[in-house]
Amino acid sequence: MSTKVCKKCGEEKLLNRYDWSNKKLGYKKSYCRECSITINYEWKFNKPTLWREWFNKYYAANPEKYGVTGEPKGRKPMNDLKSGVYLITNTQTGETYVGCSSDVKRRIWRHLEYNRGRSKQKGISKAIKQYGREVFTSEVLEYCPKDVMFEREAEWMKKYKCEYNRNKADGTK
């Protein structure tokens, strides 16, 4: 694999350590990914008014990426395509957890990576703390509109007989 020298740090790195400048033409950026992040971070926090001005222009020019929701929030607006039902399985014990969320992928990430055993769902939270994240797998069972996701979650819970879920009807585990 070929290499390239970063203009900021001066280190020679593999080309996969550089982001695309123009993918269509095959051009890579002059700075490695780590240096690009620090440059952007410094620019955003040392010159916040310039950054906000640039972001507002970019936001206005790219409504298909962010939607037309008024003040830019820096991320895409939530829609029904993100909501749905997911399954987390302990591969060591075979126990399962079914949940639903308006942003399924983010919720799975919060369970397994961000919270790491500190969430409100005590059953799955304790298991992640006990067994470690590595023994858990996750999958999206289905995407569905927000107004029916709780009913769909209940149906999937019946199918998988989830050990980590609390029964919503009587409050038991």
Determine what percent of the chain falls in helix, strand and coil, rounding each to the nearest 5.
45, 20, 40
Structure tokens at 95: 């126990």
Q: Which residues pair with 86 in a beta bridge?
A: 99, 140
Q: Which residue has the tokens 């927000």?
A: 146
Return the CATH number of the domain spanning residue range 84-160. 3.40.1440.10
Structure tokens at 55: 């972001």
Do residues 93 and 164 touch, judged by C-beta distance below 8 A? no
Q: According to the model, what pLDDT value does residue 35 have?
A: 92
Beta-carbon count within 10 A of 81 CB = 10
- Average pLDDT value for residue range 65-84: 55
CATH 3.40.1440.10 domain extents, the chain? 84-160
Global confidence as pTM = 0.51
The DSSP symbol for 78 reads P
The answer for residues whose C-beta is within 8 angstroms of residue 148's C-beta and 6 or more apart is none
Distance CA 172, CA 166 (A): 6
Q: At what angle do helices 48-61 and 33-46 cross, to 10 degrees?
A: 110
Question: Of 90-94, 115-119, 154-158, where does mean pLDDT reach its minimum?
Answer: 115-119
The answer for residues whose C-beta is within 8 angstroms of residue 166's C-beta and 6 or more apart is 121, 122, 123, 172, 173
pLDDT, one tens digit per residue, over 11-55 is 999 988 888 888 888 888 899 989 988 988 888 889 888 888 888
